[in-house]
Amino acid sequence: MKKILKIIGLLIISLFTIAAAGYVYINATDVPKYETLKIDYQVKSDSLTIKRGKKLALMLCANCHMNHETGKLTGTKMLDAPTEFGEIYSQNITQDKTYGIGNWTDAEILYLLRTGVKKDGQYTPPYMAKLPHMADDDINAIISFLRSDDPLMKADPTPDTPTKPAFLTKLLCRVAWKPFPLPSEKIQLPDTTNTVALGKYLAINLDCYSCHSADFKTNNFLEPELSKGYFAGGNKPLNRDGKVMLTPNLTPDKETGIGNWSKEKFIKAVRFGIVDDKTSLAYPMTPYTLLTDKEVAAIYDYLQTIPPIKNKVQKSQAN
């Protein structure tokens, strides 16, 4: 009996030692690096493509990379990133050759946006957006814009501030978050005459689902519809003061979701942030003024087709 207790004691001590050593090791090392595949890719650009890319980048990249002091995409401290992930800084992505992406090839940018792996192999955790489902033509448009002489992208030598990922981030990067595979086939744009298909494409690629499902940690970025509480809200993004802002339920549940909303009400909310002509929606729900009524109506049509989930979410007080 004594011997068994001794063995159990030793086992517990060794488990603790292994856990402690693991903690020290993971904390001392950086987010893992991966091999980068050399891919053959060159952007196809013209003025219409750049314009389309700018619209997408303004909705998808500028909210994180815009620096209001330089007026360009030179990166900034991400006040709204959950602090459990560390101290996060978006980076300079202007044409600058030292701090920006002036020295990146089109293929290296594409590789990062698809997989989450930078040109030096460093993996970027989910606080940097990835576009595993975006149509080839749309990614091409974004890269065309990044490469263009648009004033937002003009070379600006503002140095990057390195991100300081927390232990939790480093741990999750080893056990849960991994680079996405490059899509094995061409991804086509949705048929714009099929509003449900267009709406699904937008709801996924504009990242509506990632905020409006249960939790960033349980989102399934490769198969978004399998995310916990898909579109049923309750996720806790922060506003710029670091206050938790609960996301509303957008499933067609009549009581707790948007099952009773008219299309017009939804369009006003999404494009202008106005609900019932009185409430204005607070950050991080920034109005999507660049989307057309038709595009937002398509998102509405799609949301009406997903499974309703009963989940009452309290309205947050922004201040």
Residues near ligand HEC (CB under 6 A)? 57, 60-61, 63-65, 78, 88, 90-91, 93, 101, 109, 112-113, 118, 124, 127-129, 142, 146, 163, 206-208, 211-212, 237, 245, 247-248, 250, 266, 269-270, 275, 281-282, 284-285, 288, 299, 315-316
Question: Structure tokens of 91?
Answer: 């980076």
CA distances from 244 to 106, 131, 146, 251 (A): 37, 26, 32, 21
Asked whether the CA dihedral 298, 304, 309, 310 is positive or negative, the reply is positive
Looking at the Cβ atoms of 6 and 77, the one nearer to ligand HEC is: 77
Q: Write down the least CB distance from residue 246 to ligand HEC, Å.
A: 7
Residue 161: Cβ within 10 Å count: 15
Q: Write down the least CB distance from residue 212 to ligand HEC, Å.
A: 6
Looking at the Cβ atoms of 6 and 240, the one nearer to ligand HEC is: 240
Looking at the Cβ atoms of 16 and 272, the one nearer to ligand HEC is: 272
Looking at the Cβ atoms of 12 and 290, the one nearer to ligand HEC is: 290
Q: Write down the least CB distance from residue 14 to ligand HEC, Å.
A: 34
In sequence order, which ranges of the chain are alpha helices (DSSP H)? Answer: 2-28, 47-60, 62-65, 106-115, 136-147, 167-175, 195-205, 208-212, 263-272, 293-303
Q: Write down the least CB distance from residue 91 to ligand HEC, Å.
A: 4
Q: Write down the least CB distance from residue 228 to ligand HEC, Å.
A: 16
Looking at the Cβ atoms of 50 and 269, the one nearer to ligand HEC is: 269
Question: Structure tokens of 240?
Answer: 């710029």
How distant is the alpha carbon of residue 293 from its chain centre? 23
CA neighbor of 91 nearest in space, from 105, 112, 110: 112
Whose tokens are 């003009």? That residue is 154
